[in-house]
Structure 1
Amino acid sequence: MTGILAARPLPARSKAFDLLLAGGLTMFFGFLSLAQEHWTGVLGLGMLVPLVWRRSRPELVFFGVAAVAVLQWLGGANLMAGNVGLLVALYTISVYGEIRYSRIALGIGGLGVLMATSRYWSTSDWRQQVTMMVALGALVFGVWAFGERRRTRGLYVAQLEERAAQLERDRDREAALAVSNERTRIAREIHDVVAHGLSIMIVQADGGLYAADASPEQAKKALATIGDTGRASLTEMRKMLGLLKQDTQPDLDPNQPRPQPGVSSLPELIDNVRDAGLTVAYEVRGEPRNLPALLGLTAYRIVQEGLTNTLKHAGPGARTSVTLDYGHEMLTVVVTDDGRGAAVAPSTDPGHGLVGMRQRASISGGTVNAGPKAGGGYEVVARLPYNLPGGQQ
C-alpha cells in the first residue's frame, strides 16, 4: 500500500518529470559511477534507473535501491556517484510512502551510514571517521526530514481541500433542502387559497342555482359573492407567484398584493364564509397581542382550512365557531362545528388539508389536534407558542 499522496493518480506532467529526472541522474551520475568503479559501477545504474517509478511505487523503489546498495557494500566497492539515487529514493518514500515504511527507511539509511564508514576504518584516522559519520548521518536525516515536512504540508493541503469539498456538498444539500421546503410552503399556500376560494364559490353557485327562479335577488347576491371571492383568491395567487419572481419591484405596481394575512384578517375571512351561508360564531378570549408574522399567518391559515373543511363536509345547516384564546405562553385556535364532517375521512395527501395544518403548526413550534367531537361534529385545536423556534419573529 502507498501513502495518501501517492494514492492520487499522477498527472502526465509528474510522470514526465520523473522520467526526465531519472534519465538525467542516470546519464550524469551513472556514467560517473562507471568511470569511478569500472565494472562495479554498473550497480550505480541500478540505483538510478528505478527512480522512474519513485512516486508510483515509493516503497518498492526504495527497498530495491537499498538492496543494490547492500550488494555494492558486499562487493567491496567504495561510495560512488550513483549512491545519490539512494538519497532520492529516501526522500520520495518519506513524502509518498506509508509512515511506517518511511520510519523503516530512515533506520536503513542510518545503518547504511555505519556500513559506509566502516569501509574506511582501517585506512583513516578516527577523527576523520567521526566527521564522515556525522556528515553522512546529517545528510541522510536532513533528506528524510525534508521529505517528512513535505508530506505533512501535503496532508494538510489535502485535508483543507477535503474540508472545502465537504462544505460545498453541505451547501448544495442545504440549498436543495431550502428549495424543497420553499416548494412545499408555496404548495401549501396555493392549496389554502384555492381550496377555500373554490369551496365558497361552489357553495354560492349551488345556492344561486336553486334560488335563480324563486329569488333572483339571492341569486344576484350569490353571483356577487362568487366574483368577490374569485378576485380575492386571484389577489392571493398573484402575491404568492410574485415571490417566485427575481426582479419584483413592489413599489412600482399600485395593484401589488397586500401583505400576508394574519389574525387581524380573520373577521373579513369569517364574513366571507358567512356570506356563503355558513353560520359562524367568532370569539376572542384573553388580551390580544401583536403576533410575529409567521405565527399570525399560521393561525389565519388554520382557521381558513378549518372553515373550508366545514363548508365541504359539515353539510347544510351546520353551525361553526372560531375561538382565539390568548393565553400566557401560547395562542390557542379552536375551530369547531356540529355537522357531519366527522363521518368524512380526512385527506391523506401530504402537504394538504389536515396534514398541511400540522406542518404549519410544526414550523411555528406548535401542534394541531383534529378529530370528531363527543356528541357529534368536528373540532380542530391548534396550540401555537408565542416564542417561535430559533428566535424567529
Structure 2
Amino acid sequence: MTGILEARPLPASSKAFDLLLAGGLTMFFGFLSLAQERWSGLLGVAMLVPLVWRRTHPEAVFLAVSSVAVLQWLSGSNLMAGNVGLLVALYTISVYGEVRYSRIALGVGGLGVLMATARYYGNSDWRQQITMMVALGALVFGVWAIGERRRTRGLYVAQLEERAAQLERDRDREAALAVSNERTRIAREIHDVVAHGLSIMIVQADGGLYAADASPEQAKKALATIGDTGRASLTEMRKMLGLLKQDEQNELDPNQPRPQPGVSSLPELIDNVRDAGLTVDYQVTGQPRDLPALLGLTAYRIVQEGLTNTLKHAGPGARTSVTLDFGRELLTVVVTDDGRGAGVAPSSDPGHGLVGMRQRASISGGTVNAGPKAGGGYEVIAKLPYNLPDNGSNLPDNSSRLPGNGGGLPTGGVH
C-alpha cells in the first residue's frame, strides 16, 4: 500500500493546473474569509493553500485541511468561505486517494457535520437543526460520491486501456509466431527441394563422368537430367523464397491456397529418381482415397526425403521400395532399401531430414519411425491418420484441398 505521505507521479501540466486552482481559490475564498473574520480568516486561507499538493499527496492534504477545520471549531470561529477547501480536499481524496483513506475521510466529514450542527446551530429550533444537518450531510456525501464515481470510472477506463493493450500485444505475438511458423515451414520446404534436387544431380554427374568415354549417349542423358532437375528445383525454390518477402502480401493470403505436391505427384518423383539410376518399386495397396492437402503434402515429402537419403547413403546397386497402404483409418508410407545406409556412420550434423519428417507427421497427428532393417538396409515407416487431430490448429480439412493432392492413384501393383 502507498504510504500516506508518498507522492504520486504527476505530469507537469497537472501540477500547473493544481497550482493555478489552489492560487485562484486562495485569492478568492481567502479574501472573503479575511473579510468575514479579520484574524480568524487566516484559518480559511490555511485550508486553501495545501490544495497545491492535493493530487500528489491527497491523504496528507485532507489531514491538514481537516485539522485546520477542527482548530477553527475549537477556537469558536464562524463558518467562512475558506471552508470550501474541506470539500475540495474530500473530493480529491475520494478520487486519487486509497480506498480505505477515502472512506475514513467520509467518516471524518460526517463527524464534522455533527460538530458543525452542534456548534453553529445548537441554539436554533430543532427543526432548523435537523434541516441544517441533512443539508450539510447531503453536501458532504454528494461531494464524496461524485469523487468516488469518478474514481470508479477512471479505473474502468484504465482496465479497458490495459485490456486493449494486452490484446494488441497478443495479436502482435500471434502474428510473430505465425510468421515464424511460416518461415520454418518454408525453410523445411527449401531443404527438401534443394537436398532432393542436388542428390539427383550429384548421382547423374558421377554417372555421366564414368560414362563420358564409354557411352557418350548416356553421358548426354545424364547431363540433360541434371539440367532439368536443376531448373525444376530452382523454379520451385524461387517460388518459396518469394514467400519470405514481407511486401508480397498476396503470397501470404490464406484465402489463396498455393499449389503443393501430393500423393498424386509421387509417380513423377519416382520417375525422376529412376532416371538418376536408382531402382525403385512403387506399390499402392488398399483403397485409394482423396486426401487433405496437408496429409498429401506430408506423405509426398516423407517419400521424397526417404529417396533422397537412399541416393546419398545406400550406395551403388541398391534397390528401393516405396509402398502406400490406404488402411481404414490411416495411410501407411513405407520407404525401404537394401543398401549400406545403415552401416554409414552418422554425421555430427543430422540435418533437417529426419527431424522434418517427424515434425510433418506430428502436425498431421501421425508418427515416423526410421532405422536399420534386420538383415541390412534402411527403413522409414510413417503412419498418418486421415482425420487430423482436433487441437485447435487451423489446418486444412477434407473440404479444403490444394491442387495436386487428390486421387488418381493406381489401385495397386508395382510400377
Q: Name the TM-score class by shorter chain.
A: over 0.9
Structure 2: distance between partners of 1:23 and 1:123: 36
Post-superposition Cα deviations, 1:142-188, rounded to whole Å, max 9, x if no partner, equal 00001110011000000000001001111111111111111111111
Structure 2: distance between partners of 1:16 and 1:54: 12
**Given the superposition, is the C-alpha separation of residues 152 and 341 from structure 1 closer, same or farther in structure 2, using an over 3 Å criterion?**
same
Q: CA deviation at 1:327?
A: 1.4
Q: CA deviation at 1:363?
A: 2.1
Structure 1: distance between partners of 2:8 and 2:375: 73
Is residue 392 from structure 1 mapped to residue 396 from structure 2 by the alignment? yes
Equivalent pair of 2:122/2:129 in contact (CA under 8 Å):
no
Is residue 207 from structure 1 mapped to residue 207 from structure 2 by the alignment? yes
The equivalent of 2:159 in structure 1 is: 159
The equivalent of 1:98 in structure 2 is: 98
Structure 2: distance between partners of 1:60 and 1:25: 19
**Given the superposition, is the C-alpha separation of residues 108 and 192 from structure 1 closer, same or farther in structure 2, using an over 3 Å criterion?**
same
The equivalent of 2:185 in structure 1 is: 185
Equivalent pair of 2:8/2:57 in contact (CA under 8 Å):
no
Equivalent pair of 1:91/1:147 in contact (CA under 8 Å):
yes
Q: CA deviation at 1:32?
A: 1.1
In the alignment, residue 163 of structure 2 is paired with which amino acid? Answer: R
Higher mean displacement: 347-356 or 371-380: 347-356
The equivalent of 2:255 in structure 1 is: none
The equivalent of 1:240 in structure 2 is: 240
In the alignment, residue 333 of structure 1 is paired with which amino acid? Answer: V
Equivalent pair of 1:261/1:297 in contact (CA under 8 Å):
yes
**Given the superposition, is the C-alpha separation of residues 31 and 347 from structure 1 closer, same or farther in structure 2, using an over 3 Å criterion?**
farther
The equivalent of 2:406 in structure 1 is: none
Is residue 218 from structure 1 mapped to residue 218 from structure 2 by the alignment? yes
TM, length-normalised to structure 2: 0.88
Q: CA deviation at 1:8?
A: 7.0
Equivalent pair of 1:348/1:355 in contact (CA under 8 Å):
no
Structure 1: distance between partners of 2:11 and 2:24: 20
DSSP-derived class of the 1:127 partner: helix
Post-superposition Cα deviations, 1:332-385, rounded to whole Å, max 9, x if no partner, equal 111111112123355676871111111111222222111112222111111112
**Hey, which of these two has a bigger chunk of helix by percent?**
1
In the alignment, residue 355 of structure 1 is paired with which amino acid? Answer: V
Equivalent pair of 1:34/1:42 in contact (CA under 8 Å):
yes
In the alignment, residue 214 of structure 2 is paired with which amino acid? Answer: A
In the alignment, residue 176 of structure 2 is paired with which amino acid? Answer: A
Post-superposition Cα deviations, 1:300-331, rounded to whole Å, max 9, x if no partner, equal 11100110011101111111111111111221
Structure 1: distance between partners of 2:179 and 2:23: 57
Post-superposition Cα deviations, 1:264-307, rounded to whole Å, max 9, x if no partner, equal 11011011111111111111111111111111111111100110
Equivalent pair of 1:280/1:319 in contact (CA under 8 Å):
yes
In the alignment, residue 13 of structure 1 is paired with which amino acid? Answer: S
In the alignment, residue 114 of structure 1 is paired with which amino acid? Answer: L
Structure 2: distance between partners of 1:100 and 1:338: 81
How many residues align structurally? 384
Post-superposition Cα deviations, 1:226-260, rounded to whole Å, max 9, x if no partner, equal 1121122122123323434555999xxxxxxx931
Unaligned runs of 5+ in 2: 252-257, 398-415
Equivalent pair of 1:200/1:226 in contact (CA under 8 Å):
yes
In the alignment, residue 109 of structure 1 is paired with which amino acid? Answer: G
Is residue 57 from structure 1 mapped to residue 61 from structure 2 by the alignment? no
Q: CA deviation at 1:122?
A: 3.9
In the alignment, residue 396 of structure 2 is paired with which amino acid? Answer: Q
In the alignment, residue 190 of structure 2 is paired with which amino acid? Answer: I
Unaligned runs of 5+ in 1: 251-257
In the alignment, residue 48 of structure 2 is paired with which amino acid? Answer: L
The correspondence of residues 1-393 of structure 1 with structure 2, limited to 5 A, is: 1-2=1-2, 9-244=9-244, 246=247, 259-345=259-345, 352-389=352-389, 390=393, 392-393=396-397
DSSP-derived class of the 1:39 partner: coil
Higher mean displacement: 183-192 or 338-347: 338-347
Q: Relative contact order: is structure 1 or structure 2 higher (C-alpha 8 Å, sep ≥ 6)? A: 2
**Given the superposition, is the C-alpha separation of residues 131 and 345 from structure 1 closer, same or farther in structure 2, using an over 3 Å criterion?**
farther
Equivalent pair of 1:281/1:322 in contact (CA under 8 Å):
yes
Q: CA deviation at 1:85?
A: 0.5
Structure 2: distance between partners of 1:21 and 1:259: 70
Higher mean displacement: 303-312 or 120-129: 120-129
Higher mean displacement: 381-390 or 286-295: 381-390
Higher mean displacement: 207-216 or 161-170: 207-216
Equivalent pair of 2:8/2:55 in contact (CA under 8 Å):
no
RMSD of the TM alignment (CA)? 2.1
Higher mean displacement: 351-360 or 80-89: 351-360
TM, length-normalised to structure 1: 0.93
